[in-house]
Structures are given as structure tokens and as C-alpha cells.
Chains A and B, each alone.
Chain A
Amino acid sequence: MSVPSQPDVLVSTEWVAAHLSDPQVRIVESDEDRALYTQGHVPGAVEIDWAVDLQCPIVRDYIDRAAFERLCAERGIANDTTVVFYGDKNNWWACYAFWVFKLYGHADCRIMDGGRKRWELDGRAWSGERVSYPRTTYTAHEQDGSIRALRDEVLNHCRAGKQLLDVRSPEEYRGERMHMPDYPNEGAVRGGHVPGAVNVPWPLNCREDGTFKPVKELEKMYLRELKMKRRSPTIAYCRIGERSSLTWFVLKYLLGFGSVKNYDGSWLEWGNAVRVPIAKGAEPGSIVAAGGPAPTVLA
């Protein structure tokens, strides 16, 4: 039996095309490559960039509440605006931006299924015009801790043996992909995964055209094959929390999981943290097997 998900949260390119001039709707593009938006975007869409707009330039954190309010005001987004996110790479940055909007309690967020790829495949028009909207007044909520996991919480979660998903590639999960010639060190000093984490690479959520797989297929994978429970608290992570926001979106909004958090610190924090246990190889492993000093230092 299916738990009711929230199908309205996914909109088609057709829906978006019909709402291009709807003042109640703001379309937001978020990309891996910012120049894609410059090259051509959905007519009327504004851009919100994960690195430049959503991250605090000083502390490794998101922009604070006041900065988020300014961002929304500048993009012409009001508290009651329906915000539709889309982007490249199967919408992973779109899901990331969606997640940050939910973090600050924005009520009505949607994802345009398939993102840029589907818009292109559907033969819809791109616009290179500069877009601006009248400034709004925006009031954000305090951060919603129910969708964000910080390191110590992940450690406790891991010690309790609760559902943990690593959505990176199998090579990253096993700890094989670490260092390449000339590679600028943006990675971690250790390779592997959080002990107990199951590897479900994020592309398994998507189809070739960039859209999400049908709910029935996703249920088959997560619930029947991986035996995950909708009611068990779940944490997802990747390298910096972008790919895992996509998996977070799938679990929470398409499959109706009750408690899912994104660990945005992800491997770039975990794989660098001192005395935090890791597991290597293809097996999830456990925190006990990971050895090392008792991790109570972080409790």
C-alpha cells in the first residue's frame, strides 16, 4: 500500500509553460554551470546559484536568515509565491535550492520534472533576456532542523544503526576514488563511507530524460529491495550535500518518508574530521568494526 506522496510538488514542463506569466509563480534556475542560465533560460526565470547566492562566504554554512530574506526580496519572491526550481544535471542543484528554501520554511516549492533536459527535449523556447522583478518583502522562518543533519547527529544516528544513505558513486563509497594527478585538493583526506551507510547512487532515482523514475519503481528499489522503512528516521549524504538533496527530495516528497535529513557537511566534512570512524570497501560495515577510539569525544 502506498503512503500518499505529494505529487503536486513535481510539475511538468507543460505546467511551467502555462504559468510563465503567472505573477503567483516564480521560476528559479539553479545549475552546476552558471553560464547555462546566461546562454538561455526558461522565459522569465531568475537564477539562484548554490555557491554564490546560497552559501555563506565566511563560515561553511548557508546564508543566514536575513541574507535569505534579502535574496528572496531581490528575486521578487514573496512568502506566498509558488517557487518552481529547475536546472541541469537531473535537477540536483534545483533540489539543493529547493532544500534551502524548505530550510527557511518557504511554503510552496516545486520541482520542474526533468529540468533543463526535459525542457529542451520538449522543444520549448529558451530566453537570453535579463530578468528582474519588483522587490518584495520577505520574512523567513528560523532554520528547520528537521531536514538538516549536522555531524554529531549523524554520528549518533550511525551508532544507533539507523537508516543512512550514501548517494555517491560506488568508487567514492568504497574509498577508491581519492586522488588524481593534478587534482586540486577539494576532496577529503580519507576515502570511504560513514559506517553503516548503504550505497544508493543518486542517478538511480532518475530516467534518461532527466525526469524522476515513477513512484512504483522507486518504491520497489527503496522499500522492497533495500528494505528501507518509511517510518524510520533517515539521513542522506554525498560529497557536499547536493546529490543527496535530490535523494532527500525523492524520499520525502515522492515516497512519503516521515523523517529524512540531508547531511550537507557530507564526505567533505566526515572524511576530514579527526577521530571520526569510517568504513572502507563495498560493505556498509558498522561503527564498532570501524575501530579507533570511542567516538564519545563528540557526544
Chain B
Amino acid sequence: MTGVRQRLDELVAEFADLDGREKLELLVDFANGLPALSPDYEARKSQEDRRVHECQTPVFLWTESDSGAARLVAEVAPEAPTVKGFVAVLAEAINGRPIVEVAAISDDVLDRMGLAAVLGILRTRGLRAIVARVKRGFAERAAAAG
């Protein structure tokens, strides 16, 4: 079974080979594949502080553990398909893997995907904050589980 790092490397390679326009098209495909929140999470959205305040557009993240298996649940506003697509890429790499492996996501994932050239510096910083938030969320889960 492939680990988070290897899965992410495969996804990164998929992006790295594409030109700018194709990268954005692939992000849109991923964005379209991110499932809508279940009614349970929809209800929790208003009760818990899950908003990623570093992002200008509304992004809500839950870093869940199902008996030690990671599950990233997210809602990203439809007006932000780039962010939504990127979160979907992370979810694909992470979901179902042991939460301790999430720490292996390297901080330069955006650079390796070649997104900085397509999005510019300010936008990729917002995405970097999401990577940081996801890693921290799962690290807290792992610490709590001992």
C-alpha cells in the first residue's frame, strides 16, 4: 500500500508535466470531485471554528481520524476553484492513510507542482497556509492518540 508521500509525489508528477492552462484545468477537475459536506458536517460548521482564517475565501477544514486513518473533510467556496482543487489533491493523497504519515508532506509541494508560476506568489502563500493547517491538524490528532 502506497504511503502519503508516494501518493503525493504521483499527483505532483501529474501536475508538473502540464502547461499552465492544463494545470488549471486539472485543478478544476479535482475541485469538481470534492464531495459536498454531509448534513452532519454542515451542522457542525456553524458550531465549530473550522474556518481557515488565513484564506480570503471561505474554507472549512476538519482533520479527522478513523481509528488512526486520516480523513480530510473540507468545504471550499465555489468562487475559489483553485483552492478547492488543491484541497482535493491533498485529500486524495491523505485519506485512508495513517495520520502520522501526514507529517511527511513536504512544504515545497506547491513548488514541485509548478503552481507558483501559474498563480503568483501571493496566491500560493494562501495555499501554503492550508498545507500548514492540515499538517498541524493531523499532528494534533496523532499527539492526542499518544
A and B interact: yes
Q: Please give the residue numbers on chain A whose beta carbons come within 8 Å of chain B beta carbons, in ascending order.
A: 32-39, 49-52, 55, 88-89, 130, 180-184, 186, 240
Asked whether, in the complex, the Cβ of B129 is within 8 Å of the Cβ of A33, the reply is: no
Give min CB distance, A118 to chain B, whole Å. Answer: 14
Q: 5 additional contacts, CB 8 Å, given A38-B21, A184-B126?
A: A32-B80, A37-B24, A38-B24, A39-B28, A186-B122
By the criterion CB–CB under 8 Å, are A52 and B81 in contact? no
CB distance from B100 to the nearest CB of A (A): 21
B79 adjacent to A182 (CB under 8 Å): no
Task: Say if the beta carbon of B31 comes within 8 Å of chain A.
Answer: yes
Residues in A whose Cβ lies below 8 Å from that of B136: 182
Collect the chain B residues with CB atoms within 8 Å of residue A32's CB: 56-57, 79-80
Question: With A34-B82, A180-B54 given, is the CB distance from A52 to B125 under 8 Å?
Answer: no
> Closest approach, in angstroms, between the C-beta of A208 and any C-beta of chain B?
15
Flag whether B104 is at the interface (Cβ < 8 A). no
User: Assuming the A-B contacts A52-B118, A184-B125, are A38 and B132 also in contact, with contact meaning beta carbons closer than 8 angstroms in the complex?
Assistant: no
Complex contacts, A39 vs chain B, CB 8 Å: 28, 31, 81
B27: A residues at CB distance < 8 A = 35, 38
Query: Is B121 positioned at the interface, with any CB of A under 8 Å from its CB?
Result: yes
Given contacts A182-B129, A183-B54, A184-B128, contact A55 B120 (CB under 8 A): yes
The binding surface of chain A is classed by DSSP as loop
Chain B: interface size category? 20 to 34
Q: Which residue of A lies closest to B82 (CB)?
A: A35
Q: Which residues of the partner chain B approach A183 to less than 8 Å between Cβ atoms? A: 53-54, 129
Set A36, A38, A184: member contacting B54, Cβ < 8 A: A184
Number of CB contacts from chain A to chain B under 8 A: 68
Q: Does B50 contact A (CB under 8 A)?
A: no
Instruction: Tell me if B25 counts as interface (CB < 8 A to partner A).
Output: yes
CB distance from B97 to the nearest CB of A (A): 23
Q: Confirm or deny: B119 has a beta carbon within 8 angstroms of a beta carbon on chain A.
A: yes
When C-beta atoms are compared, the residue in chain B nearest to A116 turns out to be: B79
Considering only CB atoms, which chain A residue lies closest to B130 in the complex? Answer: A182
State which of B20, B81, B121 has its C-beta within 8 Å of the C-beta of A36: B81
B133 in the interface (beta carbon within 8 A): yes
Chain A residues with Cβ below 8 Å from B85 are 35
Which residues of chain A have C-beta atoms less than 8 A from B20's C-beta?
Answer: 52
Identity of the chain B residue whose Cβ is nearest the Cβ of A36 in the assembled complex = B81
Residues in B with CB closer than 8 Å to A50 are 120
Ordered by A's residue number, 22 sampled pairs between the chains whose C-beta atoms are within 8 Å are A32-B56, A32-B79, A33-B80, A33-B83, A34-B82, A35-B24, A36-B79, A38-B28, A39-B28, A39-B31, A49-B120, A50-B120, A51-B119, A51-B120, A51-B122, A52-B20, A52-B117, A130-B21, A183-B129, A184-B125, A184-B126, A240-B122
- Minimum CB–CB distance from B91 to chain A (whole Å) comes to 17
Chain A hits for B80, CB < 8 A: 32-33
- Residue B129 contacts which of A38, A55, A184 (CB distance < 8 angstroms)? A184
**Per-residue 0/1 for B33-71: is the Cβ within 8 Å of any A Cβ (1 yes, 0 no)?**
000000000000000000001101100000000000000
